[in-house]
Amino acid sequence: MLFCQGCSWRCVYCHNPHLISADAAPAGEWGQAAAFLRRRVGLLDAVVFSGGEPTLQQGLADAMREAKSLGFLVGLHTAGAYPERLGALLPLIDWVGLDVKAPFARYDRVNGVSGSGAKARESLALIVASGVDHECRTTVHPALFSESELAALSETVFALGARRHVLQGFRADGCPDASLNAAAGGSALSALLAAAAAASPRIELR
Protein backbone atom coordinates (compact mmCIF):
# COMPACT_ATOMS: atom_id res chain seq x y z
CA MET A 1 0.00 0.00 0.00
CA LEU A 2 1.25 3.45 -0.94
CA PHE A 3 0.11 6.41 1.18
CA CYS A 4 -0.35 9.72 -0.63
CA GLN A 5 -0.11 13.03 1.17
CA GLY A 6 -2.78 15.72 1.34
CA CYS A 7 -6.50 15.80 2.14
CA SER A 8 -9.05 18.60 1.99
CA TRP A 9 -11.30 17.03 4.64
CA ARG A 10 -10.78 17.02 8.40
CA CYS A 11 -12.55 13.89 9.60
CA VAL A 12 -12.83 13.80 13.37
CA TYR A 13 -11.65 10.18 13.58
CA CYS A 14 -8.79 10.43 11.06
CA HIS A 15 -6.04 7.97 11.94
CA ASN A 16 -3.54 9.44 9.47
CA PRO A 17 -3.49 13.13 10.55
CA HIS A 18 0.18 13.37 9.58
CA LEU A 19 -0.90 12.96 5.94
CA ILE A 20 -3.50 15.73 5.90
CA SER A 21 -1.19 18.62 5.05
CA ALA A 22 -0.11 18.69 1.43
CA ASP A 23 2.75 21.02 2.36
CA ALA A 24 4.56 18.71 4.78
CA ALA A 25 7.77 17.11 3.56
CA PRO A 26 6.91 13.78 1.90
CA ALA A 27 8.51 10.58 3.12
CA GLY A 28 9.42 9.66 -0.44
CA GLU A 29 8.77 10.32 -4.12
CA TRP A 30 7.04 8.20 -6.75
CA GLY A 31 10.40 7.26 -8.28
CA GLN A 32 11.40 5.52 -5.06
CA ALA A 33 8.07 3.72 -4.90
CA ALA A 34 8.36 2.63 -8.53
CA ALA A 35 11.86 1.28 -7.93
CA PHE A 36 10.53 -0.72 -4.98
CA LEU A 37 7.72 -2.13 -7.12
CA ARG A 38 10.12 -3.17 -9.87
CA ARG A 39 12.01 -5.21 -7.28
CA ARG A 40 8.75 -6.86 -6.21
CA VAL A 41 7.50 -7.96 -9.63
CA GLY A 42 6.37 -11.55 -9.29
CA LEU A 43 6.26 -11.26 -5.49
CA LEU A 44 3.33 -8.87 -5.06
CA ASP A 45 0.01 -8.97 -6.87
CA ALA A 46 -1.37 -5.48 -6.40
CA VAL A 47 -0.67 -1.87 -5.46
CA VAL A 48 -3.23 0.10 -3.46
CA PHE A 49 -3.01 3.89 -3.45
CA SER A 50 -4.27 5.29 -0.17
CA GLY A 51 -3.96 8.51 1.79
CA GLY A 52 -4.73 11.18 2.70
CA GLU A 53 -6.87 11.57 -0.39
CA PRO A 54 -4.87 10.10 -3.29
CA THR A 55 -7.03 11.67 -6.00
CA LEU A 56 -5.47 15.01 -5.02
CA GLN A 57 -2.21 13.83 -6.59
CA GLN A 58 -1.74 15.21 -10.09
CA GLY A 59 0.57 12.35 -11.00
CA LEU A 60 -1.72 9.56 -9.77
CA ALA A 61 -2.89 8.43 -13.21
CA ASP A 62 0.68 8.14 -14.49
CA ALA A 63 1.69 6.23 -11.36
CA MET A 64 -1.21 3.83 -11.84
CA ARG A 65 -0.30 3.28 -15.47
CA GLU A 66 3.30 2.50 -14.53
CA ALA A 67 2.16 0.06 -11.83
CA LYS A 68 -0.11 -1.69 -14.33
CA SER A 69 2.71 -1.82 -16.91
CA LEU A 70 4.70 -3.80 -14.34
CA GLY A 71 1.88 -6.31 -14.09
CA PHE A 72 0.28 -5.17 -10.84
CA LEU A 73 -3.41 -4.87 -10.17
CA VAL A 74 -4.30 -1.37 -8.99
CA GLY A 75 -6.50 -0.50 -6.02
CA LEU A 76 -7.63 2.85 -4.65
CA HIS A 77 -8.75 4.00 -1.23
CA THR A 78 -10.76 7.21 -1.56
CA ALA A 79 -13.39 9.26 0.19
CA GLY A 80 -14.84 10.34 -3.15
CA ALA A 81 -14.17 14.02 -2.55
CA TYR A 82 -13.36 14.65 -6.23
CA PRO A 83 -15.76 12.71 -8.46
CA GLU A 84 -14.46 14.16 -11.74
CA ARG A 85 -10.91 13.08 -10.94
CA LEU A 86 -12.14 9.69 -9.76
CA GLY A 87 -14.13 9.19 -12.94
CA ALA A 88 -11.03 9.79 -15.06
CA LEU A 89 -9.07 7.25 -12.99
CA LEU A 90 -11.61 4.43 -12.95
CA PRO A 91 -10.49 2.86 -16.28
CA LEU A 92 -7.08 2.27 -14.64
CA ILE A 93 -8.42 0.75 -11.41
CA ASP A 94 -9.22 -2.86 -10.53
CA TRP A 95 -10.75 -2.26 -7.10
CA VAL A 96 -12.00 0.73 -5.07
CA GLY A 97 -12.52 1.06 -1.33
CA LEU A 98 -14.88 4.04 -0.89
CA ASP A 99 -15.08 5.55 2.59
CA VAL A 100 -18.70 6.45 3.21
CA LYS A 101 -18.37 8.82 6.14
CA ALA A 102 -21.99 9.32 7.19
CA PRO A 103 -25.51 9.73 5.82
CA PHE A 104 -24.88 11.88 2.75
CA ALA A 105 -26.85 14.81 4.15
CA ARG A 106 -24.81 14.78 7.36
CA TYR A 107 -21.22 14.56 6.13
CA ASP A 108 -20.24 17.80 7.82
CA ARG A 109 -20.80 16.11 11.18
CA VAL A 110 -17.75 13.94 10.43
CA ASN A 111 -15.54 15.96 8.09
CA GLY A 112 -16.57 19.55 8.74
CA VAL A 113 -17.24 20.25 5.05
CA SER A 114 -20.75 21.36 4.14
CA GLY A 115 -22.17 19.72 1.02
CA SER A 116 -19.41 17.13 0.77
CA GLY A 117 -21.86 14.24 0.98
CA ALA A 118 -23.13 15.10 -2.51
CA LYS A 119 -19.60 14.60 -3.86
CA ALA A 120 -19.30 11.23 -2.16
CA ARG A 121 -22.68 10.14 -3.48
CA GLU A 122 -21.69 11.16 -7.01
CA SER A 123 -18.45 9.20 -6.66
CA LEU A 124 -20.35 6.10 -5.56
CA ALA A 125 -22.61 6.42 -8.61
CA LEU A 126 -19.56 6.64 -10.89
CA ILE A 127 -17.97 3.57 -9.30
CA VAL A 128 -21.15 1.53 -9.63
CA ALA A 129 -21.66 2.59 -13.25
CA SER A 130 -18.06 1.69 -14.12
CA GLY A 131 -18.45 -1.93 -13.05
CA VAL A 132 -15.18 -1.78 -11.11
CA ASP A 133 -15.07 -4.11 -8.11
CA HIS A 134 -15.56 -2.13 -4.92
CA GLU A 135 -16.67 -1.90 -1.34
CA CYS A 136 -18.10 0.90 0.75
CA ARG A 137 -16.88 1.07 4.32
CA THR A 138 -17.97 3.19 7.23
CA THR A 139 -16.15 3.85 10.49
CA VAL A 140 -18.60 3.52 13.37
CA HIS A 141 -18.57 5.35 16.70
CA PRO A 142 -21.61 5.64 19.02
CA ALA A 143 -21.09 9.40 19.29
CA LEU A 144 -21.44 9.78 15.52
CA PHE A 145 -24.20 7.32 14.59
CA SER A 146 -27.43 5.98 15.96
CA GLU A 147 -28.60 2.46 15.16
CA SER A 148 -31.32 3.79 12.86
CA GLU A 149 -28.90 6.05 11.02
CA LEU A 150 -26.52 3.17 10.32
CA ALA A 151 -29.33 0.97 9.05
CA ALA A 152 -30.60 3.74 6.81
CA LEU A 153 -27.11 4.43 5.50
CA SER A 154 -26.66 0.79 4.50
CA GLU A 155 -30.04 0.79 2.79
CA THR A 156 -29.00 3.87 0.85
CA VAL A 157 -25.64 2.56 -0.39
CA PHE A 158 -27.17 -0.75 -1.44
CA ALA A 159 -30.03 1.06 -3.19
CA LEU A 160 -27.41 3.04 -5.11
CA GLY A 161 -25.87 -0.23 -6.31
CA ALA A 162 -22.97 -0.79 -3.91
CA ARG A 163 -21.78 -4.40 -3.82
CA ARG A 164 -20.59 -4.43 -0.21
CA HIS A 165 -20.98 -2.27 2.87
CA VAL A 166 -18.38 -2.93 5.52
CA LEU A 167 -18.68 -1.44 9.00
CA GLN A 168 -15.47 -1.00 10.93
CA GLY A 169 -15.36 -0.07 14.58
CA PHE A 170 -13.61 3.16 15.54
CA ARG A 171 -10.05 2.77 16.78
CA ALA A 172 -8.26 5.41 18.78
CA ASP A 173 -4.86 4.80 17.14
CA GLY A 174 -3.72 8.10 15.62
CA CYS A 175 -7.02 9.91 16.22
CA PRO A 176 -6.45 13.45 17.56
CA ASP A 177 -9.98 13.82 19.03
CA ALA A 178 -9.72 13.23 22.78
CA SER A 179 -13.48 12.97 23.32
CA LEU A 180 -13.87 10.24 20.69
CA ASN A 181 -10.85 8.39 22.06
CA ALA A 182 -12.24 8.48 25.58
CA ALA A 183 -15.38 6.71 24.43
CA ALA A 184 -13.64 4.26 22.09
CA GLY A 185 -14.56 0.59 22.15
CA GLY A 186 -16.71 -0.85 24.90
CA SER A 187 -20.18 -2.28 24.97
CA ALA A 188 -21.88 0.65 23.23
CA LEU A 189 -19.81 0.21 20.07
CA SER A 190 -20.19 -3.57 20.14
CA ALA A 191 -23.95 -3.28 20.51
CA LEU A 192 -24.19 -0.73 17.69
CA LEU A 193 -22.19 -2.90 15.29
CA ALA A 194 -24.15 -6.03 16.22
CA ALA A 195 -27.49 -4.28 15.70
CA ALA A 196 -26.37 -2.91 12.34
CA ALA A 197 -25.19 -6.32 11.16
CA ALA A 198 -28.45 -7.91 12.28
CA ALA A 199 -30.40 -5.41 10.20
CA SER A 200 -29.13 -6.85 6.91
CA PRO A 201 -27.26 -10.02 5.92
CA ARG A 202 -25.42 -7.96 3.32
CA ILE A 203 -23.63 -5.83 5.92
CA GLU A 204 -20.14 -7.00 6.86
CA LEU A 205 -18.20 -6.24 10.02
CA ARG A 206 -14.46 -5.74 10.06
The mean pLDDT of 76-94, rounded to a whole number, is 98
pLDDT of residue 3: 92
Residue of 190 and 64 predicted with greater confidence? 64
Longest dimension (CA), the chain: 49
Strongest mean pLDDT among 81-90, 166-175, 178-187, 193-202: 81-90
Domains of the chain: 2-205 (3.20.20.70)
pLDDT of residue 184: 72
Q: Are 23 and 51 in contact (CB under 8 A)?
A: no
Report H helices in the chain.
Answer: 30-39, 60-69, 83-89, 108-111, 116-130, 147-159, 178-182, 186-199
pLDDT of residue 92: 98
pLDDT of residue 24: 62
- Sheet strand arrangement including 46-50: 2-3, 46-50, 73-78, 95-99, 133-140, 165-169, 203-205
pLDDT digits (tens, 9 = 90+) for 130-167: 999 999 999 998 888 888 999 899 999 999 999 999 99
pLDDT of residue 41: 96
Q: What b/e readout covers 84-107, taking b as 16+ CB neighbours within 10 angstroms? A: ebbbebbebbbebbbbbbbbbeeb
pLDDT digits (tens, 9 = 90+) for 53-83: 999 999 999 999 999 999 999 999 999 999 9
Amino acid 2 reads: L
pLDDT of residue 27: 64
pLDDT of residue 15: 81
pLDDT digits (tens, 9 = 90+) for 15-31: 888 888 777 656 678 89
Q: At residue 13, what are phi and psi to the nearest 5 degrees? A: -105, 15
The mean pLDDT of 21-49, rounded to a whole number, is 86
Confidence class for position 106, pLDDT limits 50, 70, 90: very high
Mean pLDDT score of the chain: 91
pLDDT of residue 26: 64
